[in-house]
């Protein structure tokens, strides 16, 4: 479904040229749960951003359903993110002024789709937040916030869910719950990529790759 071919990513940090990725080859199939591990600064998040079409590689090809997105114009990348990609972040990034319902429905605003209550309710039930829909994010626990963020990532029915350290701010109990949720999603056919420092969780994933020095090691 997604294939990375010889991806390189360079960027400048002040006067220094950083080679974040140095020729990454990686493919992700539908329904696969992939864990990416590696030390800080190894290029995990950069890889995730390229997978999510948020960032463009310096060299190499990103094939999304066979279509090369490396040179796509911004408007088409936006469309791709809306329709096929879901994002989950370590810091959740729920909007404080919106209810859980509105936070989950937020991507629908940008994809110009109607926020149907039944769909949001179904997603909330799936992540166990059906009783919290009218609450503000500040009233949720960390685990609940991340579950709301996952529901938000799923609201556009994406083909792939990209989770950047989804359990990074959670205790072990909540981490297990989030992992179980991600696993059930992949079992239902959703390609799921999870960056994590938690080796125990990574070991339970269907596949784990390690990034070290800008290269992927199986």
Partner 1 sequence: MSGYLKLAGKNLLRHRTRSVLTMLGIAASVGVLFSVLSFNKGFTEGLAVELERTGLHFMVVPSGCAHEVAALVLHGAVIPKFLDTKVMEHVTATAGIDLATPILVAQLPDPQRGKIDLIYGVDMSVLSAIKPGWEIAGKIPEQDNEILLGYEVAQHEKLQPGDQFSTGGRANLLVSGIVGLTGSQDDAFVYLPIKTAQKLLDHPAAATAIGVKVTDPTRMVEITDALTAAVPGIQIVTMGEVMNSISNLAASARALSLAIVLIAILISAVGVMNSILMAVFERTQEIGMMRAVGASRWDIFRIILEETTILSLSGGLVGILISILGSRMIEAFVRSVMPFVPSGNLISFDPVVAAGSVLFIFIIGLCAGIYPALKASKINPVEAIKG
Residue 52 binds to partner 1 (criterion: CB under 8 A): yes
Which CB, 73 or 218, lies closer to partner 1?
73
Burial group, residue 178, by CB count within 10 angstroms (0-12, 13-18, 19+): buried
Quick one: which of 151, 155, 156, 150 has its CA closest to 194? 150
Whole-angstrom distance, CA of residue 70 vs CA of residue 62:
6
Considering only 29, 67, 95, 180, the residue that binds partner 1 (CB under 8 A) is: 95
Segment contacting partner 1 by CB under 8 A, of 101-109, 177-185, 197-205, 206-214: 101-109
Q: Are strands 67-68 and 59-64 parallel, antiparallel or unpaired?
A: antiparallel
Residue 76 binds to partner 1 (criterion: CB under 8 A): no
Shortest distance in whole angstroms from residue 95 CB to partner 1: 6
Residue 159 binds to partner 1 (criterion: CB under 8 A): no
Whole-angstrom distance, CA of residue 10 vs CA of residue 29:
26
Shortest distance in whole angstroms from residue 58 CB to partner 1: 13
List Cα–Cα distances, 208 to 38, 100, 197, 204, 211, in angstroms: 10, 32, 12, 9, 10
Which CB, 4 or 208, lies closer to partner 1?
4
Binding site for partner 1 (CB under 8 A): 45, 49, 52, 54-55, 74-75, 78, 81-82, 86-87, 89, 91, 93, 95-98, 102, 106-107, 109-111, 115, 152-153, 156, 164
């Amino acid at each position: 479904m997604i294939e990375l071919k010889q991806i390189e990513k360079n960027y400048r940090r002040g006067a220094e040229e950083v080679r974040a990725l140095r020729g990454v080859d990686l493919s992700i199939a539908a329904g696969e749960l992939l864990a990416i591990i590696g030390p800080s600064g190894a290029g995990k998040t950069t890889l995730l951003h390229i997978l999510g079409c948020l960032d463009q590689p310096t060299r190499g090809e990103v094939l999304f359903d066979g279509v090369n997105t490396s040179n796509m114009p911004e408007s088409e990348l936006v469309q791709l993110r809306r329709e096929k990609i879901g994002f989950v972040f370590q810091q959740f990034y729920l909007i404080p002024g919106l209810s859980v319902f509105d936070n989950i429905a937020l991507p629908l605003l940008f994809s110009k789709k109607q926020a149907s209550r039944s769909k949001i309710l179904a997603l909330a039930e799936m992540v166990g937040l059906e009783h919290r829909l009218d609450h503000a994010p500040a009233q949720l626990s960390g685990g609940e916030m991340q579950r709301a963020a996952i529901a938000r990532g799923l609201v556009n029915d994406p083909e792939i869910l990209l989770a950047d350290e989804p359990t990074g701010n959670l205790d072990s109990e909540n981490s297990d719950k989030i992992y179980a949720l991600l696993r059930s999603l992949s079992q239902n056919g959703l390609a799921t990529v999870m960056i994590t420092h938690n080796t125990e969780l990574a070991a339970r994933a269907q596949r784990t790759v390690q990034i070290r020095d800008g290269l992927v090691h199986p």
